[in-house]
Amino acid sequence: MALWPQSSVAKKFLNAITGIGLFIFVVVHLFENLLLLTGNPDDFNRWAHFLESFGVVLRIIEIGLAAFFIAHIWSALLVYWDKWKARPHGYRVYRTAGWTSRQTLSSQTMIYTGIVLLAFVIWHVITFRFGPYYPIMVDGVEMRDLHRLVVEVFNEPINVVLYVAVMVFLGFHLRHGFWSALQSLGAYHPRWTPVWYSGGVLVAAALAAGFIVIPIWVYLYL
């Protein structure tokens, strides 16, 4: 038995399901990070400490998240490889199939924005998840001062610039990914597809904007 999906439908399905899982993580993660902007550092640290209190359950969720990332990348590469093989020999020039194909800058660059996001996530997790442990007392309990680490990182202008740039890539990736995942799961409907398509644009722009505000805000005010 093969270790990965063989049919193109199965590959796209796996890519869509894992993409939706990662999308949900990104939405939750944005709301967690907005706690950085409350004006009270304890809010963010208390939340991170609350999550940490789940111990082994949190570790299992983290492993599940990593598995989603790997399965998403793997299935994307399989889909991309199939498309590449199916091209007529020597045919590398992009030609649009018209409006109905919904080909955009976002859809054409999924593999590149994906590679940027992969590099970002590795750098990001090393910086924060495995970054320095600064202890702090909150409500008489010792916990990790993650707020201090975030402020330290975003007080470096180069980090702010890189984060803002990557969040633009994230917006483009989500813009096409949102709509494409629904299509792969068979959600095509002549009436509703344009609504999901526009919804994807709005959701992607809102998420990217939310993540862009955080480093800029921290740099300017914290």
Which parts of this chain interact with ligand HEM (CB under 6 A)?
A: 26, 29, 33, 48, 62, 117, 121, 124-125, 128-129, 146, 150, 163, 170, 211, 214-215
Residue 29 Cβ vs ligand HEM, minimum distance, rounded to whole Å: 5
Tokens of 108: 């054409």
Q: Which is nearer to ligand HEM, 17 or 30 (CB)?
A: 30
Q: Which is nearer to ligand HEM, 154 or 197 (CB)?
A: 154
Residue 210 Cβ vs ligand HEM, minimum distance, rounded to whole Å: 8
Q: Which is nearer to ligand HEM, 102 or 124 (CB)?
A: 124
Instruction: Provide the terminal-to-terminal Cα distance of the chain, rounded to the nearest Å.
Output: 55
Residue 181 Cβ vs ligand HEM, minimum distance, rounded to whole Å: 15
Residue 126 Cβ vs ligand HEM, minimum distance, rounded to whole Å: 10
**How far is residue 149's CA from residue 44's CA, in Å, rounded to a whole number?**
11
Query: Which DSSP string corresponds to 150-168?
Result: HHHHHTSHHHHHHHHHHHH
The residues, any chain, with a CB within 8 Å of residue 211's CB and separated by 6 or more, are: 30, 33, 163, 167, 170
Q: Which is nearer to ligand HEM, 73 or 102 (CB)?
A: 73
**How far is residue 214's CA from residue 203's CA, in Å, rounded to a whole number?**
17
Q: Which is nearer to ligand HEM, 61 or 105 (CB)?
A: 61
Q: Which is nearer to ligand HEM, 31 or 188 (CB)?
A: 31
Residue 209 Cβ vs ligand HEM, minimum distance, rounded to whole Å: 11
Residue 143 Cβ vs ligand HEM, minimum distance, rounded to whole Å: 10
Query: Which DSSP string corresponds to 52-106?
Result: HTTTHHHHHHHHHHHHHHHHHHHHHHHHHHHHHHHSPTT--------GGGT--HH
**How far is residue 222's CA from residue 208's CA, in Å, rounded to a whole number?**
21
**3-class state of residue 136 by DSSP:** strand
CB 46 within 8 A of CB 32: no
